[in-house]
Amino acid sequence: MNGRFVAGSILVIIGALLLLENAGVWNFREVFHDYWPVLLILGGVWLLVRRSTVRRGRPIAGTNSALGMQDELSESVTLGEINLRPVSKQFRGGSVGNSIGAVRIDLSGVIPADGEQVLTIDGVIGEVRLTLPKDVATAVEASTTLGEVVINEARKGGFSPSLAVESPGYAAAPRKLRVKISHLIGEIEVKQ
Query: Which pLDDT score, from 0 to 100, does residue 104 have?
Result: 94
Q: Environment class of residue 172 by beta-carbon count within 10 Å: exposed (0-12), middle (13-18) or buried (19+)?
A: exposed
Query: Which pLDDT score, from 0 to 100, does residue 22 have?
Result: 84
Collapsed DSSP state (helix, strand, coil) of residue 110: strand
Angle value at C-alpha 49, between 8 and 43, nearest 5 degrees: 50
| Cβ within 8 Å of residue 101, ≥6 positions away | 77, 79, 80, 81, 82, 125, 126
Query: Which pLDDT score, from 0 to 100, does residue 20 have?
Result: 82
10-residue mean pLDDT profile of the chain (192 residues): values are 57 79 79 75 63 42 38 87 90 91 92 95 91 94 91 88 94 96 91 92
